[in-house]
Structure formats: C-alpha cells, structure tokens
Homo-oligomer: A and B are copies of this chain.
C-alpha cells in the first residue's frame, strides 16, 4: 500500500520532506500546497502537483497524511488544528512551553474529524523527548541532562540580525565538554546555564558600524546571551557564505540513575545526535511519523497524539514479524 502525502509549506522543512519521501518506498508525494502563487513555485518531484493552500479542502480523498511544514510561532498554532479537521496531520511544533495548549487545540478538531494528528515530531521535541521519557521510566531514581549542539540556533542568529548595524549573523550553541564529562562520570553535578553551553557568534557588520557596541549588545541581550559565555567574531560576507552556509545541529540527552538496595550501582543512558542538516533530519522524523499516523488511523485511532503515544512499530514500513526477526 502506498501512503499518499501532502506537504503544506515549501521552506527548508518542506523541501526536506520532499527528499525524505524518496527514501521511503511506501510513500508518494501527491502535492505541495503553498500560500504563495503556485505558478511561482518549482519543486523537485515532477509527478507531484503544486497547489494553492485553498485547494487542499478539495483533496481530502487524494491525500492520506498532510505534513505541515511551518513555523511554531505563528503558522502551526493556526494550520495544524485547521488541517486536522480534514486530514491526518503531522507537525514539528517545537515551542515546549506551549505544547499543552497546542495539543488541546489540535485534539479538538482531530477528535471531531476522526483523524490522527501527531504533533512535535522532530528531534527536540521528538527523539530527545522519547529518550527522556524512556530513561526516566527505566531509572526513576536519577537526573536528566540535555545538551544542545554543536549547532546553529536560528532564533539566536535572528536575534543578532535585529541589532542595528548587523547585516548577517550565525550563532552556534556549543556544549561545554567538561560539563558533558562530569555528567558522564555519574557524579550528577548541578550545572548552571553558563556551565552547560557556550555561544559563539559570527557577525557581518556594516562598514561604518561600531563593532564594540554590537558585541556589547549581543553579550548583554537578556534570555538569549546574558546568561552565557559568549564569543563574537566579525567576518566578511564572503566568509559567512563560504564557512557558515550549512545548518548542522545535534546534542545529547543523558540520564544518570542509581539502583540497588542502597543505590550502590550507577547507570548512564546517553542518546546523541550529530546532524549535518537540522531541517533534513527533522523532515525525516516527520515522514516516519506520517506513516504512523496513517497506520494508527486505519486501526481506528483518532485525535491528537505526540511521539509518546506512538508505539515504535508504527513508524516502520516492515511487518511485526519482520521487525521482531531482524531488529529485536
């Protein structure tokens, strides 16, 4: 059986989903939906249509799962509940603090429509969350650590770009190696924000800009940089394009726990990702959960789910017999 996929939104994430579909033989891209003029959009899949977002409502019998590729700030809070009233949907909603509210809104429309919606299918939230949950359940007496990087933080890069005199910027979040080692040693250290990550910034400034002021404004920016050790490098636009075009990311989820009559035995569970392309990896996660949504809905499931609610087997194109024989 082929799972017929629609992509809503064609930025980095939508293009990544298009590529990921090619790696999954049981999936077919039917159409990309856009808020732009469809005639202006060129996609890589010749067999797929490019349609206006307004046409989606006429495609409910042609698409099994709609993968919603938008931003968490303004796109997904509107689009995911709206499209869950028509389709099985997947998104990568990643504003941790607003997940309960997003879940409630999506659950309302998906429950009514009888569709399955799986939200927050990326790596954090997503694969990292799953690992936090498994580790917490297996080692109840323990402590969690999540480190991010080395990788580009789009939010922090954008924040620098908003400073007067800045033309372009790239911010790398980098875990502090000694903090990682302290955690891995099983010592359960208490670590401040500053002790866990450093922030490294590459900035292209206007020729006449006051670089000392820019550097000061970056380092003192509340929430984004003030609580971190931050370094700032001024570079040329050529250097920016040559050395900082990629969007790598990754990180570590570590839980240290103790067992035994007196907690005498220590255990470390570590999960890590090293990603050349943050959006392409997220797109790959979205595709795997699209398969799960399709299979779960066929079995009668409905409403909003998160990766916590999805048994691993649903992500696989293989049968239960096959995965038990080859991967268990």
Task: Kindly name the residue among A137, A288, A311 whose own CB sees the greatest number of chain B CB atoms within 10 A.
Answer: A137
Number of interface residues of A (CB under 8 A): 69
Q: Is the CB of B134 within 8 A of A100?
A: no
A273 and B269 in contact, given A44-B261, A309-B313, A316-B137 (Cβ under 8 angstroms): yes
Chain B, residue nearest A252 (CB): B270
Mark A4-24 against chain B: 1 for CB-CB distance below 8 A, else 0. 000000000000100110011
A133 and B323 in contact, given A267-B275, A313-B308 (Cβ under 8 angstroms): yes
Q: Is the CB of A133 within 8 A of B307?
A: no
Chain B, residue nearest A325 (CB): B100
Mark A251-289 against chain B: 1 for CB-CB distance below 8 A, else 0. 000000101110011111111111111001101110010
Instruction: Please give the distance in Å from A136's CB to the nearest CB on chain B.
Output: 7
Q: Is the CB of A133 within 8 A of B316?
A: yes
Instruction: Please give the distance in Å from A311's CB to the nearest CB on chain B.
Output: 5
**Complex Cα distance A19/B284, Å?**
40
Asked if A194 CB lies within 8 Å of chain B CBs, one says no
**Complex Cα distance A129/B100, Å?**
30
Q: Is the CB of A129 within 8 A of B308?
A: no
**Complex Cα distance A28/B277, Å?**
47
Asked if A125 CB lies within 8 Å of chain B CBs, one says yes
Partner of A19, one of B96, B139, B260, B271: B260
Asked if A320 CB lies within 8 Å of chain B CBs, one says yes
Asked if A197 CB lies within 8 Å of chain B CBs, one says no
Q: Is the CB of A267 within 8 A of B273?
A: yes
Asked if A310 CB lies within 8 Å of chain B CBs, one says yes
Q: Is the CB of B23 within 8 A of A120?
A: no
A270 and B271 in contact, given A133-B316, A134-B127, A306-B328 (Cβ under 8 angstroms): yes
CB-CB nearest 5 A-B residue pairs: A137-B315, A265-B276, A265-B277, A308-B313, A259-B280
